[in-house]
């Protein structure tokens, strides 16, 4: 099957499917052109288990930003051993990371949201785009209860990705945390050990911290932004994520003025950051228990 063959009636049918049936449909119809993208959130563990019930040879990829917790890296081996698969690892362009750090410092994400999004773009969004280049179906762990921003997440929708159409699936869109936790316990699934240390959403070191009792989900992501009115995005699940808008211009020398226009050795790109009215409980859309 090809994405161009997906009509509205079929998309509506996919949106009515239960999670296991939807995952099975994806791999049965697209084979190696379908893959699960995971950052080893709890939803990722569930979707990988569902896929294993349909196929013994299914694709899973992850983005290794170069700043992941050791507990997250350990999950790669645990999942590979349990399911007999090889997880594809995509990493940032080393020259772009080097250039970014030399110009703005290793901890540029503390400076302002625009630089945080630039760091995420270099370390996560661009590698994710490379992963999607070989796919027609992208299976994510997004859920509607993760935040106000995600409350309308569809189980299936065709999205634009670098000038072409791909099918983006969120099989667990209508699952809540009780159902996630019960499924994991009933099936004795491997999970990231950080979830036992107070974490709710896991990304990079420093940018992910444990929750304090009473805090909203995702409060541990980019904690220094909790007082701001934004949706705490890394950019992966934002349509048209090759552009992030804002009001700061960063020249090659590091001077700041105007719109955020960050050029690198390979060329230039405009990163635009538009303040969101969404609640910040969502968190990274890269998220954490959103996997993707």
Q: Which CATH architecture has domain 3-272?
A: 3-Layer(aba) Sandwich (3.40)
- The Cα–Cα gap between 201 and 91 comes to 20
CA-based nearest residue to 234, from 125, 112, 151, 129: 125
- What is the pLDDT of the chain when averaged over all its residues? 81
CA angle 80/82/83 to nearest 5° reads 70
Task: Tell me the domain boundaries of the chain.
Answer: 3-272
CA-based nearest residue to 155, from 166, 141, 145: 141
Confidence of residue 245 (pLDDT cuts 50, 70, 90): very low
Q: What pLDDT sits at residue 217?
A: 73
Condensed to tens digits (0 to 9), the pLDDT of residues 140-163 reads 999 887 655 567 789 999 998 888
Compute the Cα dihedral for 182, 76, 44, 198 and give only its sign.
Answer: positive
Q: What pLDDT sits at residue 187?
A: 98
Rg of the chain, C-alpha, whole Å: 18
Residue 238 pLDDT more than 90? no
Higher per-residue pLDDT: 24 or 230: 24
Instruction: For the chain, give the percent of residues with pLDDT over 70.
Output: 75
12: CB partners within 8 A, 6+ apart = none
Contact indicator for 100, 107 with CB cutoff of 8 Å:
no
Residue 256 pLDDT more than 90? no
- Token pair for residue 211? 């929750």
Tell me what the mean pLDDT of segment 283-288 comes to.
36
- Token pair for residue 235? 């950019």
Active-site choice (204, 207, 234, 278): 234
Q: What pLDDT sits at residue 147?
A: 58
Instruction: For the chain, give the percent of residues with pLDDT over 90.
Output: 59
Hey, which of 170-174, 219-223, 225-229, 239-243 has the most confident mean pLDDT?
A: 170-174
264: CB partners within 8 A, 6+ apart = 96, 99, 100
Q: Is 234 a catalytic residue?
A: yes
């Amino acid at each position: 099957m090809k994405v161009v063959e997906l009509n509205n009636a079929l998309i509506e049918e996919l949106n009515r499917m239960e999670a296991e049936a939807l995952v099975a449909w994806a791999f049965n119809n697209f084979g190696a052109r379908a893959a699960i993208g995971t950052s080893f959130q709890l939803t990722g563990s569930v979707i990988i288990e569902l896929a294993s019930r349909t196929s013994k040879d299914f694709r899973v990829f992850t983005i290794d930003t170069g700043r992941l917790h050791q507990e997250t890296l350990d999950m790669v081996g645990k999942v590979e051993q349990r399911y007999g698969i090889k997880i594809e690892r995509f990493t940032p362009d080393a020259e772009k990371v080097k250039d970014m750090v030399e110009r703005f410092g290793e901890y540029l994400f503390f400076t302002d949201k625009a630089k945080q999004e630039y760091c995420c773009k270099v370390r996560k969004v661009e590698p994710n785009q490379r992963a999607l280049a070989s796919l027609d179906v992208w299976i994510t762990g997004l859920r509607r209860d993760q935040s106000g921003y995600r409350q309308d997440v569809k189980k299936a929708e065709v999205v634009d990705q670098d000038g072409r159409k791909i099918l983006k699936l969120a099989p667990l869109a209508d699952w809540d945390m009780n159902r996630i936790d019960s499924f994991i316990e009933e099936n004795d699934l491997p999970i990231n050990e950080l979830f036992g240390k107070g974490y709710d959403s896991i990304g990079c070191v420093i940018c992910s911290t444990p929750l304090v009792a009473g805090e909203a989900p995702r409060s541990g992501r980019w904690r220094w932004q909790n007082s701001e009115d934004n949706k705490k995005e890394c950019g992966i699940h934002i349509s048209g994520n090759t552009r992030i808008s804002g009001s700061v211009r960063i020249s090659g020398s590091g001077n700041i003025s105007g719109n955020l226009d960050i050029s690198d050795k390979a060329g230039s790109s405009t990163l635009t950051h538009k303040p969101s009215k969404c609640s910040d409980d969502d968190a990274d859309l890269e998220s954490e228990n959103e996997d993707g």
